[in-house]
Chains A and B, each alone.
Chain A
Amino acid sequence: MTAYLWLIPVLPVIGFLINGLIGRRLPKRAVAGVACGVVLASFVLSALAVTELAGMPEDQRYMENRVATWVPAVDAGGGQKGLAVDWLFTLDPLSAVMILIVTGVGFLIHVYSIGYMGEDPGFWRYFTYLNLFMAMMLTLVLGGSFAVMFVGWEGVGLCSYLLIGYFYWKPDCADAGRKAFITNRIGDLAFVIGTLTLFAWFGTLEFRPILQAVTAGQGPAWVLTAVAICLFIGACGKSAQIPLYVWLPDAMAGPTPVSALIHAATMVTAGVYMVCRLSPLYVMSPTALTIVAVTGAATALFAATIGLAQNDIKKVLAYSTVSQLGYMFLAAGVGAFSGAIFHLMTHAFFKALLFLGSGAVIHALHHEQDMMKMGGLKKHLPTTYKVFFCGWIAISGFPFTSGFFSKDEILWRAFQWSPVIWAVAAFTAVLTAFYMTRLMGLTFWGRTRMDHHTEEHVHEVPGVMKRPLITLAVLALLGGFLSVPAALGGHWMPFTLEHWLEPSLAHPEHAEGHGSAAAEYGLMFLSSALAMLTMWFGYNLYHKTPEKAAAWKQRFAGIYEVLKNKYWVDELYDAVVIQNFYRLCRAAYSLDVRVVDGLVHLVRNLTIGFSYLSVFWDTWVVDGLVNLTGRTIRTSSGALRKVQTGFIQSYASAMVFGMFVLICLYMYVS
């Protein structure tokens, strides 16, 4: 299987090419068949590869597939390192987890899309882009070097751009796509700086050699810290952390399955994956880890507060995603890298489920996304309600759901690192439970606020959309059992994610295991209690007494406004960054036209001035001399011709006079 690792990302490329080139002329079934088929094939291959990997002894779980040279090594003399890049795909426990999530959840979403996008005329285009995305995401996680990973990194950015702007005739969508791409690029700027600094130090871009060198202590600490921070900024861009998260809520303009796949389960997790992949590097720099943790925690809290006041169902889920990504970075920052990946996995399950479920609601209500116009859908959409219920309890951390296990792991490790951070994270968990309950209340419970027309046309989703939903619901409920913590009997489970990921991830010095089991149980109990209390409270508020909710909104109107307007961050960015940027651009153009080109024009005008001077000189001085000569001759000849009188006697007199003068001279001389 090692030699065929490259097929895993390449199969979706084949789907992309087929659908891209001839998809327009194929019937929808064929397009869907090709698209879903290649993803399923990738999933099967991934499963085979992972099985093979699992069969290897623990400390040798590494498969390397060096397909071809991309940029050949150049002949560099004098200690210079030539850039050499190969198409290198590697599989280790970490990327094994990732490819299974990506292909598995990806496949489910592809199937779902057949139903969701069934009436869209650009069906073939949608699946073309979606397949390309799968290929790029798989390249990202299977990449064995920064260069190959960067191909995937930028590639998923491109696909995100194309898919967010899928309805390109709508200006909002086009804007959102562009915002996503450019915000990502700002992160990529830092990413490239980090990558190339590593290249300048270690002479290679491949992960294995770099991480081995870093672990061995090569490279000064400040360089490693700087690189880690730069790479993290790149991750902030891709995974929507403060301050580069602003593209994610806007990205909801794209089709809902896209939001599920790209902006919940896979692309946004690329940053988390990258940090975990480079855990040996981060472990060498506690400063960087602190920044990661603090940023993660702050983002988690910040986004959760905004989620409380949003009315668009997808926006709530978007901010929820930003918040949960914050959790993942928090986990990474406190050293619980496997916890981050675990939460990544469970989040993929329940967030994809929630998004697809919301897609079902939106689809049923004919593209209505405002929760204020929903309500009481429980009886209209029973299956959707049930799966949504599963997702709700999972994300809120109801005991023994997947979200419970992963979130608790993070909270426990956070507590060990710093109780303050734990408090922030725990409070965020409360908020999470609350806004999700609010979402359930506004959408499914209580009396309906739909207008009659919509209510008549409400219908449950077709089977093709139901089955992925149910699969994801099952995973959301049971997925947590893949990594039961030791305190709850993880030792007896045949498989724990933490153990599986050990070879791939580094552990910081101050690592885990300091707290007592009692503390762990206590925290677990506390968080479960908080979760259930919040859910019950929210249920009462939104189901039983919705008027109270409205009253509360009135009481806290000021705060509500701030949250609803997302702290006016976008407006702030626009005023401070974007407008000034445009001013700078206009100033630069002005400078170019007036000053730089002005200098050129000045030279031109000086030259023309000089040429006028030359004309003057030539006409009056040079030519003047010529004219002067002529005039002199004419004047003198005018004077001299007076001698010619025409009278003979005057000529004769002249002769006589002349003779006289000559004779005098002759006599005088001799």
Chain B
Amino acid sequence: MFQGLLSTIAYVPLAGALLLLFFPKDSKKAIAWFATAVAGVDFLISLPLFFQWDTSLAGFDPVTLERHSWIPSIGAQYIFGVDGISALFVLLTTLLGVIGALSSWSAITDRVKEYYIFLLLLQTGMLGTFMALDFFLFYVFWEVMLVPMYFLIGIWGGSNKLYAAIKFFLYTLFGSVLMLLGILAVYFYYGAKTGVYTFDIVLLHTLGADPAFFELSRWVFWAFFIGFAIKVPMFPFHTWLPDAHTEAPTAGSVILAGVLLKMGTYGFVRFNLPMLPESSRLYAPYVLALAVIGIVYGALVAMVQRDWKKLVAYSSVSHLGFCMLGVFALNVNGLNGGILQMLNHGLSTGALFLIVGIVYERRHTRLISEYGGLSKQMPVFATIFMIITMSSIGLPVLNGFIGEFTILAGAFQIPADVAINVLGLTLGGKFWAICGVTGIVLGAAYMLWLYQRTMFGGLDNPENQKLKDCNTREVLYLAPLVACCFWIGLYPKPFIDILDKPVAHIVEQLHATGQGYAELGK
């Protein structure tokens, strides 16, 4: 770990993309190898963030913190830094990057060069977003993420790709513009208050302890909320997700589900909670209500999907509802569990999309009714799918359980006055947790139904009878995800140790002004 490590991690994919420009467009294999190698190298150099992390840190790691002057006239600096939370997300991004690149070898045969260039550019965008500690820089990277994703969906996507791509782009852009308003509001407030106009996030976080900021923070909270809630996606801002996920190419879906969705929740954890603590506590019931609706609603809609990918997309809505439940429980368990579950979701839903991709490459249909009885023909695939299914529904010994259980433990500790009034009833406290727990039944319902329709039963469809099982490359890119599922499920200690102090710090910041929840309600 050294100064400059973070920039290296962020820009290696960019460098790779630039070098790819010089490849002749017909040498598809070389391009695929090179891109995967670049992603692999990026993953390897990001590993020190995990293995050499100082778990006693509550804030941003000073060794890797980079600060350079960028646009002094407006106070924007180039600041890259990670704390425990973002370090884990950086690792998730690099891991899914190399897996996504590896999975695209046989899926993309047309315009291969542009595809990998966009994939690598997307990597840079995502990594920069997680590492940026200056709001202006953060916003730049946030927007940078959108363009390659748009192209990935729009060029290499399914039958309705243009609609999905434009919908994704405009919807999330709308959110980010509102977020920009929030950023500027904070920037100007801080500038007016201290005379120093800066976008530095660490400095702006100190506004959380300033009682006078409360009035403005209410508006800023909602501005940020719209921006992040669209990304998460929370009900009712989620409708871009099914289309984007369904139409995107496999690697696109994996990265979209695995990383881009985490940007939203990361935004809440990094900005809403520490910087706008009173507003977070004041509006927590509404956010919890939407989160819980998301859990149940996402699962209900997933039950009746006929398109495999759309089912997984709606399951993402449900799972991220869980994460949001954890985050807005606003206590240590909930936040720890929420962040851990974000990682778990990235791994297991990423794996689910890869699994769909494998059968899609063979049969070119996503209709569940076209499949059935595949266990007999593809046993290795069936086993991996079963493990991932169990991870998704939170079976103990696998990663989903740790996240879910911790989130629910946190949710059960929500005080009774965190409530909303609906038709004269006060719903709060344990109500959120009880609604969340129903998610475990619904999750099992749609996932097992999916597994049964595709894997069990007779191998009736003649087109399925000659399908080949997973080849080495496919096992190779699924194996790390399966391994991580077991690792986090059986031995989550390293991950929780990394998260522990930053999460405690955030919870501390939440109660910085020392105001009780009741006083905030005015």
Contact = CB atoms under 8 A, between A and B. Distances in A.
Query: Do any CB atoms of chain A lie under 8 A from CB atoms of chain B in the complex?
Result: yes
B333 A80 contact: yes
B438 A189 contact: yes
B396 A150 contact: yes
Contacts of A134: none
A582 B448 contact: no
Contacts of A154: 395-396, 401
Given A78-B511, A168-B375, A200-B412, A158 B390 contact: yes
B504 A75 contact: yes
A200 to B, nearest CB: 4
Interface residues of A, number: 54
Contact of A589 (B304, B373, B412): B304
Nearest to B317: A592
A412 to B, nearest CB: 39
Interface string B382-421: 0000000010000111000110011011111100000000
Contacts of A197: 412, 430
Contacts of A72: 492-493, 496-497, 500
B303 A178 contact: no
B333 A182 contact: no
Interface string A195-235: 01101100000000000000000000000000000000000
Nearest to A125: B379
Contact of A80 (B397, B413, B433, B497): B413
Interface in A63-84: 69-72, 74-78, 80-83
A74 B496 contact: yes
Contacts of B508: 77-78
A469 B509 CA distance: 66
Contact of A585 (B239, B304, B375, B405): B304
A175 B444 CA distance: 14
Contact of A74 (B395, B413, B441, B504): B504
B332 A169 contact: no
A534 B137 CA distance: 85
A342 to B, nearest CB: 30
Given A80-B331, A171-B457, A147 B405 contact: yes
A193 B413 contact: no
A185 B430 contact: no
A585 B300 contact: yes
Contacts of B409: 83, 196, 199-200
Given A82-B332, A185-B440, A196-B433, A155 B457 contact: no
Contacts of B408: 192, 196
A588 B430 contact: no
A74 B402 contact: no
A74 B333 contact: yes
- Interface centre among A582, A586, A589, by most B CB within 10 Å? A589
A199 B405 CA distance: 11
Interface string B279-319: 00000000000000000010011011100000000000000
B239 A600 contact: yes
Interface string B42-86: 000000000000000000000000000000000000000000000
A280 interface: no
Given A185-B440, A588-B300, A155 B396 contact: yes
A164 B375 CA distance: 15
A387 interface: no
Given A199-B412, A200-B412, A76 B332 contact: yes
A584 interface: yes
A79 B303 CA distance: 40
A186 B239 CA distance: 29
A584 B300 contact: yes
A199 to B, nearest CB: 6
B331 A588 contact: no
User: Interface range on chain B: under 10, 10 to 19, 20 to 34, or 35 or more?
Assistant: 35 or more
Q: Which 6 A-B pairs have the closest CB atoms?
A: A174-B456, A151-B396, A597-B239, A196-B412, A585-B303, A588-B300
Given A69-B493, A174-B456, 16 more contacts: A71-B402, A72-B496, A76-B507, A77-B508, A78-B508, A82-B333, A155-B396, A168-B375, A169-B456, A170-B457, A173-B456, A177-B452, A178-B448, A586-B304, A592-B301, A596-B239
Contacts of A70: 490-493
Contacts of B375: 168-169
16 contacts: A71-B492, A76-B504, A81-B413, A154-B401, A158-B395, A170-B457, A182-B441, A182-B445, A189-B438, A196-B411, A200-B409, A582-B303, A585-B303, A589-B304, A596-B236, A596-B238
A391 interface: no
Contacts of A75: 332, 500-501, 504
Contact of B448 (A181, A581, A585): A181
B92 interface: no
Interface in B7-47: none
Contacts of A189: 437-438, 440-441
Given A74-B336, A196-B433, A589 B458 contact: no
Given A81-B413, A196-B409, A186 B441 contact: yes
A178 to B, nearest CB: 5
Contacts of B430: 197, 200
A175 B301 CA distance: 21
Interface of B: 167, 171, 235-236, 238-240, 297, 300-301, 303-305, 331-333, 336-337, 373, 375-376, 390, 395-397, 401-402, 405-406, 408-413, 430, 433-434, 437-438, 440-441, 444-445, 448-449, 452, 455-459, 490-493, 496-497, 500-501, 503-504, 507-508, 511
B305 A174 contact: no
Contact of B301 (A78, A147, A589): A589
Given A82-B333, A193-B433, A171 B301 contact: no
A120 to B, nearest CB: 14
Nearest to B496: A72
B396 A165 contact: no
A178 B303 CA distance: 14
B395 A600 contact: no
A188 interface: yes
A151 B397 contact: yes
Given A83-B333, A597-B239, A182 B440 contact: no
Interface string A226-263: 00000000000000000000000000000000000000
A77 B504 contact: yes
B319 to A, nearest CB: 16
A74 B503 contact: yes
B376 A169 contact: yes
A74 B332 CA distance: 8
Contacts of B336: 74, 82-83
Contact of B297 (A83, A185, A586, A588): A588
Nearest to B458: A169
Contacts of B440: 185, 188-189, 192
B456 A165 contact: yes
A71 B496 contact: yes
A507 to B, nearest CB: 31
Contacts of B500: 72, 74-75
Contacts of A193: 433-434, 437
Interface in A570-585: 581-582, 584-585
Contacts of B441: 182, 185-186, 188-189
Nearest to B340: A71
A200 B297 CA distance: 27
Nearest to B457: A171
